[in-house]
Amino acid sequence: MVPGAVFAQSTDPGASAFIQKLGDQTIATFADKSLSREQAVERFRALLHTGFDVPYIGRWVLGRYWNQASPAEQAEYQKLFERLIVDTYANRFVDYSGQTFKIAGTRPEAGDDTTVTTQIIRPDGPPINADWRVRKAGSGYKIIDVAVEGVSMGLTQRQEFASVIQGGGGQVAALIQALRQKVGRS
């Protein structure tokens, strides 16, 4: 194999630098024991919005049902989705604190996207492969999906949400109701 021949496009070094920085900041946030859990989650929420294109992910996850939803439903869905994501990831990061990660490589994707592959090093088991799909956004970058050991978080949510909608007679309202119940508290 000719070195480099597999890459039709060159990979974007900025994308992996972006993941490195975001990862370091996230680990620092949850390692900072002077913060209460609420403060850590609040800081994480800010990081999440710096790092992830949450509105894009929300719309992508809704898939073909996005166009079926009314503007009011779209707006409420996006608000609830954001809360769900913050809750989910904040819980995850709190649970998994104590882990470190290293960048394993980058891979160009369709469009201007780059996948940054990382290994999450755990104290109590073999490393986990996490792939971050990064899209250029203005002068910076945003994550639009994460795949852990080949399992895409976005796709999992998309299929899950589709199931909720189908179970509710094909109505997006059914999903919004379920989301309200999940994240509506407090």
Binding residues for other proteins, per CB under 8 A? Answer: 56, 59-60, 63-65, 84, 87-88, 91-92, 95-96, 109-111, 113, 115, 124-126, 129, 131, 133, 135, 144-145, 147, 149-152, 154-156, 158-164, 166-167, 175, 178-179, 182
Q: Which of 29, 136, 46 is nearest to 82 (CA)?
A: 46
Nearer to other proteins, 21 or 182 (CB): 182
Q: Least distance (Å) from other proteins to the CB of residue 86?
A: 11
Nearer to other proteins, 32 or 112 (CB): 112
Q: Least distance (Å) from other proteins to the CB of residue 135?
A: 8
* Burial classification of residue 70, based on how many CB atoms lie within 10 Å of its CB (0-12 exposed, 13-18 middle, 19 or more buried): exposed
Q: Least distance (Å) from other proteins to the CB of residue 34?
A: 25
Q: Count CB atoms within 10 A of the CB of residue 57.
A: 23
Distance CA 131, CA 167 (A): 31
The answer to whether residues 176 and 182 touch, using CB atoms and an 8 Å cutoff, is no
Q: What are phi and psi of 137, to 5 degrees?
A: -130, 100
Q: Least distance (Å) from other proteins to the CB of residue 35?
A: 22
Nearer to other proteins, 43 or 133 (CB): 133
Positive or negative: CA dihedral 176, 57, 95, 163: positive
Q: Least distance (Å) from other proteins to the CB of residue 61?
A: 9
Nearer to other proteins, 34 or 179 (CB): 179
Nearer to other proteins, 49 or 135 (CB): 135
Q: Which one-letter DSSP state was computed for residue 12?
A: -
3-state secondary structure of 108: strand
